[in-house]
Every structure is written in structure tokens, then in C-alpha cells.
Amino acid sequence: MFSSKFSYSNSKSSYSDLLEDIESGNIESIFYYPRQREIDVLYKNGDKIKIPILYNDQLILEKATENKVELTVNNSRKESAAANSFASISIFLIFILAIVLILRSTSKLASRAFGFTKNQTKFVTIDDVETRFEDVAGVPEAAEELKEVIAFLKEPKKFQNLGAKVPKGVLLIGPPGTGKTLLAKAIAGESGVPFISIAASEFVELFVGVGASRVRDLFLKAKEKSPCIIFIDEIDSIGRQRGSGVGGGNDEREQTLNQLLTELDGFADNSGIIVLAATNRPDILDAALLRPGRFDRKIEVMLPDLDGRKKILSVHSLSKPLSKKVDLGYWASRTVGFSGADLANLMNESAIHCARNESKFITDHHIESALDKITIGLRSSLITSPNMKKIIAYNEVGKAIVSAVRNGIESVDKITILPRSGSLGGCTKICPDEDLISSGLISKRILFSKIEIALAGRAAETIVFGKSEITQCSIYNISYATNIVREMVTKYGFSIIGPVSMEPDNNEIYLGDGLFKRKSLIADNTSSRIDNEIIKISKVSLKNSIEILEKNRVLLDKLVEILLNQETIDRQLFKTETSELLKV
Ligand code: ADP
Ligand code: MG
């Protein structure tokens, strides 16, 4: 920065030499840089040197003046001031640059936040849906009802000319995995119209107002594509009843719902748009959503029955190399309570097992292992302690025998002492009752038998090893039993306390109402009666199980022996071994 016109020679000179040289007149000129505490010296012979001096060195200056050496004092303050101002300007510039950068990135963020209603709309549009009704098996009633919708989408003119009104909104109701989404797609596929889908939860985002504008976007898009199907999955996440949330409620959700209601009203009856929505919680939907003109058509999609399960299994084995010996009817009978998605998963797991074993065809063996994996978890390492094996075997066989007595021999699907991930020991698989699954009703008798079965492991241990030798092997079963007993007493009114519901529904807490009322619902007195009743029912059930097993002690010991030898008893073996010996 302090550029000098000198180029320096290598010759070195000391301070005293310099003084001498000044006196003897060898020096042409001196450049003095006070702030750097040095001088540049130009000799008459052309040599140039740099010499450090003291701060504010007067001696050199005096000598130079005395001997008439040309002296130039460098105005370093000016230069350093210039340097300083340069430095401060650069700091200032860097500062400005930083601010600009920060502003730019935040504005990018902001534009992303406010732009994503348009740019990143998450609804998926499929123009050529490949799903057909053949792909949806086991739900004939739902499929039949939806055919009308297809007719409308295919030939809207026919309906319009007659002035007929076709429902704008169809609500598919049913447990998860029963094929609601699949049905919606099949309708789009069959009628050859575009399918626009969005999960209701995606409407609601961090930013207020986004949900409502997404609803608007969705319907705008649908109008462009009409005729088409809009599918809103899990509509309960925005369609919940309004105005009852804690602390003013969830405004964003309400705005979104309001917008949805407006849009549903906004398009004309015959605009060619049909809105399908799916939920498994129709009970919590806002009444406004269900009124005529909106989602006035409700179609229940239930868990498939025996025949339905067989059909679903065959749909999902179409693309797989199934061995001719496999009877899907048999597998349907062993998968009571499975949803379409569970069955699809079963066939997929079977194919995976098949591939892993490097077999060409999927056999019963592969399906069996897949079923085990899905229902009772993966095999973990073997139990080696013979004592533990015995305890587990008695636990499992105890449950199987009580189930056979209470629900029939057919109810036992499999007993195993092979440990599975996530359980203490073995497992007894009990088929749920087909009627129960299809009707959804559960009787007091069935609940009692569930409790007795759950406590049967403890019962078996008690009678075989004695009261003081029982283990904690059945903890999960005990807690399962206690939960059922509590529900019987406080929810279903199945105890001597009477037909009183003492548990506020969980969803009330959702809605906020229940939070404040809950406390005062049960008097202290009643609450101790509930506890007493729960304990009493549990004890009676354990006693019943003990009685059943004592009556069947011979069978119990025999089955345990088989189980210890071969580790698994399947339903066929259980049937043959039990049918003669079982005392009901
Ligand atoms: P939901 O929407 O009712 O939760 P999905 O329609 O998403 O269930 O079903 C998930 C998967 O399960 C489907 O992709 C399909 O493979 C299978 N599935 C479910 N129900 C059926 C059915 N009735 N017939 C054939 N496959 C089914
Ligand atoms: Mg779905």
C-alpha cells in the first residue's frame, strides 16, 4: 500500500552508518514514514536502503536538515486514514452483502411458504387409471352401489337430459385396508375419467389459510378436468365437528372445512365432478358435511367374509406362481378378520418366502410361514431351558383348551412354543368368530370367554406347579384381560353396577368437551365399586379357567407332551387329539 518508488539494494546499513553517511554527504534523499517507523534512503551512488528508526526520531530529521539532504515526510496519517476508510468501507460492504443474502434467502423461504399452495399442491392426478372393478374383490354391495356413479360419469348427458340429480359426494366408510381407495380408483378406471386424489391431512399445514386455498385449487383443477373424480382420503382429519375445540378450536381446520363445504355447494349438480371421500370414523364427521347435496351417499365397505377373502386372495395370486395344490378356500377360513390389505400382504409375504427358498411355486408351506409372520411375528432364537419350555407349553395349551371348551375345537388355529419376536414365549392363535367380525356385535358371553382364555395360562400354571410357583409368563394376557373387564364394567354395562357408561368416549377429548367434564363424571364411591367389580370378575374368570383345566388335566398333560416334542400343534392335530378327550 505504501508503495515506494525505490527498489532496494541488498546492502545493509546500520543506524550509525546512516548518521555518518548523512554527515559525509553520501545521501541524496530520505523518505520518512513516521507511522511505520522506518525511512527509505537513496544514496548518491544509486543504492537504496530501508532502515528502521525510533518513533518520532528527531535526530535523523535534524541531521538531514543540517546536511541539506532532501527529506520527504510521507503523510501517512492520510494514507492510513485512507486505509482505515477503505477497511471500514469493505466492512460496510460485507455487512450490506450479508444483509442482502439473508434477505434473499428469507424471501425465498417466504415465497416458498406462500407459494406452495400453488406450486407444491400435493394432489395426485392420474389421467389413465388402470384399476378396474375386477381388482376389488369381496365387496359386492359397495361395488354395486358405485356402478350408478360410473354410469353418470360415462354418460352425463343421459342424466342431464332427464333432469336427474346424481349425488355429488359419496362417502366410503370402513375399517382401514378394506379397499376404499381401491374402489375410488376403480370407479375412475371404469369410467375412464381422471382421478384427482389428496389426503385430507395434507390440506392442513403450518400456515393459516393454506388449507382453504388448497381446497380451492383442488376444485379449480377438477373443473378443468371435468368429468373427473376427486378423492379425499381420511376426510375425518378435516371433517371433524366444528366449534368444540379447546381454546377456540383449530381455526385452520375449520377454515379448510368451511372452504370444502362452500366448494361442494359451489359446483353445479351436473358439472361432471364427483367427490369421493373415505373415512373410518364417520361418527365424528361434521353434520354439515353429511347433509343432502354434499356427502349424502354413504357406502359401507366392510371386512370381507369367507367368500370375499377367498376372492381377494385369488385376485392377489393372479400374478404369482401359485401351486395347483393350494386351496385358497382353506386359507380364507384361516384368515378371519383380515382386511383386503392384510390378505394382499399375506400373498406378498408368501411370494417373498417362496423366492427366499428358491422354489418355483408358492405352496401351503410358504403361505403358512407368511401367516405366522404376519400374525405372531418372526421367529426369534429357540428357548433352550427345558424348564422354561415346560412353563410356556402349559401356558399355551391351557389357553387352547379353555378356548376349545368355550368356543369350540375349531376356534384353535395353532399352538406353538417357538418364541416369536415381541412375546415372552410361545403363542396360541385363536380364530375370531366369523359372525362377530361380520356383525361387529360382541356379546357378554364372548367377552367372558375372552377373559377366561387370557387367564388360562395363569390357571394352568397354578394347577400344575402350585400357587407359589406361578411365573410372570402371562403378564400380557393378564393386562389384556383387565382391559376387557374394565370396558365391560365401565363402557358396556355388563356388570352388577348396571347399564351405565362411565368412560367418556376418547374422541370427546379430541373435541375438547370431555376434558373439563371428565373429572366430575364418576363419584369416588362409584370408582371404588368399579375397581371391586373388575377384581371380582377377573378372579371369577380365573377360577372358571382353573375348573375347566382341572377337568381336562389328562388332555392338558398330553398336549403339553406333544408340544414339547414337536414345538407346534396345528389345527388338524389339535382337532384329532382333542375331539375325544375334551370334557366340556
Ligand atoms: P383403504 O383405503 O380402505 O384403507 P386401500 O384401498 O388403500 O384400503 O387398500 C390397500 C391395498 O389392499 C390395496 O392396494 C389392495 O392391494 C388391497 N386390498 C384392499 N381391499 C381389497 C379388496 N377388496 N380387493 C382386493 N384388494 C384389496
Ligand atoms: Mg385408503
Strands 38-43, 27-33: pairing is: antiparallel
Residue nearest to atom 7 of ligand 1 (CA): 181
The greatest distance separating any two alpha carbons of the chain, rounded to the nearest whole angstrom, comes to 137
Q: What is the pLDDT of residue 219?
A: 87
Say how many Å lie between the CA of residue 110 and the centre of ligand 1. 39
Unique residue bearing C-alpha cell 408358492: 362
Domain-located, residue 44: yes
Identity at 264, one-letter amino acid code:
L
Check pocket membership of 139 for ligand 1, CB cut-off 6 A.
yes
Question: Domain check: are 328 and 296 in the same one?
Answer: no
Distance CA 453, CA 478 (A): 10
Say how many Å lie between the CA of residue 180 and the centre of ligand 1. 7
Distance CA 489, CA 249 (A): 33
The enclosing domain of 153 has a CATH number of 3.40.50.300
The tens place of each residue's pLDDT in the chain, 584 residues long, gives 344 444 454 455 677 888 888 888 888 888 887 767 778 888 888 888 888 877 667 777 788 888 888 888 776 555 555 666 777 888 888 888 888 888 877 766 655 555 444 445 567 788 888 888 888 998 888 888 888 788 888 887 777 788 777 678 889 998 889 999 899 888 888 888 888 988 887 777 666 677 788 888 888 888 888 788 899 988 888 877 766 555 455 677 788 888 888 888 876 665 778 889 999 888 888 888 888 778 878 888 888 988 999 999 999 998 899 999 999 999 998 888 899 999 999 999 999 999 999 999 999 999 999 998 888 776 666 666 888 889 999 999 999 999 999 999 989 999 988 776 555 567 888 888 777 777 778 899 999 999 999 999 999 999 999 999 999 888 999 999 999 999 999 999 999 999 988 875 554 444 444 445 445 568 888 889 999 999 999 999 999 999 999 999 999 999 999 999 988 899 999 999 999 989 98
Atom of ligand 1 nearest to the CA of 176: 4
Residue nearest to atom 11 of ligand 1 (CA): 341
Distance CA 242, CA 253 (A): 9
Distance CA 274, CA 264 (A): 10
Ligand number nearest CA of 180 is 1
Ligand number nearest CA of 232 is 2
**Cβ within 8 Å of residue 520, ≥6 positions away:** none
Distance CA 406, CA 394 (A): 18
Say how many Å lie between the CA of residue 176 and the centre of ligand 2. 7
Nearest CA to 364 out of 332, 322, 333 is that of: 322
Residue nearest to atom 27 of ligand 1 (CA): 340
Cis peptide before 504 (omega within 30 of 0): no
Nearest CA to 60 out of 85, 84, 37 is that of: 37
Domain-located, residue 269: yes
Burial 523-561 (b: 16+ CB within 10 A, else e): eeeeeebbeebbeebbeebbebbbebbeebeebbeebbe
Question: Domain check: are 31 and 61 in the same one?
Answer: yes
Check pocket membership of 312 for ligand 1, CB cut-off 6 A.
yes
Say how many Å lie between the CA of residue 326 and the centre of ligand 2. 30
Question: Domain check: are 472 and 489 in the same one?
Answer: yes
- Name the β-bridge partners of 169: 275
Domain-located, residue 212: yes
The helix/strand count (H/E) of the chain reads as 23, 13
Check pocket membership of 179 for ligand 1, CB cut-off 6 A.
yes
The residue out of 247, 282, 300 marking a domain boundary is 300
Pair 413, 404: CB distance under 8 Å: no
Question: Domain check: are 545 and 430 in the same one?
Answer: yes
Check pocket membership of 181 for ligand 1, CB cut-off 6 A.
yes
Residue nearest to atom 5 of ligand 1 (CA): 179
Pair 476, 489: CB distance under 8 Å: no
Cα 71 → chain centroid? 84
Say how many Å lie between the CA of residue 137 and the centre of ligand 1. 9
Say how many Å lie between the CA of residue 344 and the centre of ligand 1. 8
Check pocket membership of 239 for ligand 1, CB cut-off 6 A.
no
The enclosing domain of 346 has a CATH number of 1.10.8.60
Q: What is the pLDDT of residue 155?
A: 80
Check pocket membership of 197 for ligand 1, CB cut-off 6 A.
no
Check pocket membership of 138 for ligand 1, CB cut-off 6 A.
yes
Domain-located, residue 500: yes
Burial 170-187 (b: 16+ CB within 10 A, else e): bbbbbeebbbbbbbbbbb
The three three-digit cell numbers of residue 168, written as one number: 355429488
Pair 416, 466: CB distance under 8 Å: no
Q: What is the pLDDT of residue 1?
A: 39
Question: Domain check: are 275 and 316 in the same one?
Answer: no
Element (H, E) at 124: strand 124-126
Atom of ligand 1 nearest to the CA of 182: 6
How far the first Cα of the chain sits from its last, in Å, is: 108
Distance CA 95, CA 52 (A): 38
The three three-digit cell numbers of residue 31, written as one number: 523518505
Ligand number nearest CA of 345 is 1
Distance CA 336, CA 334 (A): 6
The enclosing domain of 72 has a CATH number of 3.30.720.210
Distance CA 139, CA 181 (A): 13
Atom of ligand 1 nearest to the CA of 341: 12
Question: Domain check: are 294 and 313 in the same one?
Answer: no
Question: Domain check: are 411 and 533 in the same one?
Answer: yes
Check pocket membership of 178 for ligand 1, CB cut-off 6 A.
yes
Check pocket membership of 344 for ligand 1, CB cut-off 6 A.
yes
Helix or strand or coil: residue 277?
strand
The residue out of 264, 282, 300 marking a domain boundary is 300
Element (H, E) at 298: strand 297-300
Say how many Å lie between the CA of residue 279 and the centre of ligand 2. 8
Ligand number nearest CA of 138 is 1
Residue nearest to atom 12 of ligand 1 (CA): 341
Residue nearest to atom 1 of ligand 1 (CA): 177
Question: Domain check: are 244 and 272 in the same one?
Answer: yes
Choosing from 135, 173, 182 the residue with most ligand 1 atoms within 8 A of its CB, the one to mutate for a pocket test is 182
Check pocket membership of 407 for ligand 1, CB cut-off 6 A.
no
The three three-digit cell numbers of residue 161, written as one number: 337430459
Packing angle, helices 251-266 and 210-225, rounded to 10: 20
Check pocket membership of 341 for ligand 1, CB cut-off 6 A.
yes
Domain-located, residue 103: no
Tell me the CB-side half-sphere exposure of residue 431, using CA atoms within 13 A: 22
Question: Domain check: are 395 and 496 in the same one?
Answer: yes
Q: What is the DSSP letter of 259?
A: H
Pair 151, 208: CB distance under 8 Å: no
Total domains, the chain: 4
Question: Domain check: are 319 and 401 in the same one?
Answer: no
The enclosing domain of 556 has a CATH number of 1.20.58.760
Burial 49-65 (b: 16+ CB within 10 A, else e): bbbebeeebeebbebbe
Question: Domain check: are 130 and 170 in the same one?
Answer: yes
Check pocket membership of 131 for ligand 1, CB cut-off 6 A.
no
Atom of ligand 1 nearest to the CA of 139: 23
Say how many Å lie between the CA of residue 233 and the centre of ligand 2. 6
Identity at 331, one-letter amino acid code:
W
The residue out of 237, 271, 300 marking a domain boundary is 300
Let me know how long the chain is: 584
Nearest CA to 365 out of 559, 578, 577, 570 is that of: 570
Pair 290, 247: CB distance under 8 Å: no
Residue nearest to atom 14 of ligand 1 (CA): 182
Unique residue bearing C-alpha cell 396345528: 570
Unique residue bearing C-alpha cell 382353506: 330
Question: Domain check: are 287 and 318 in the same one?
Answer: no
The C-alpha angle 85, 87, 90, rounded to 5 degrees, equals 105
Domain-located, residue 106: no
Domain-located, residue 98: no
DSSP states of 166-219 as a string?
A: --SEEEEE-STTSSHHHHHHHHHHHHT--EEEEEGGGT--SSTTHHHHHHHHHH
The pTM for the full model equals 0.66
Domain extent at residue 165: 123-300
Domain-located, residue 115: no
Say how many Å lie between the CA of residue 510 and the centre of ligand 1. 28
Cα 131 → chain centroid? 25
Q: Which positions are annotated as active-site residues?
A: 396
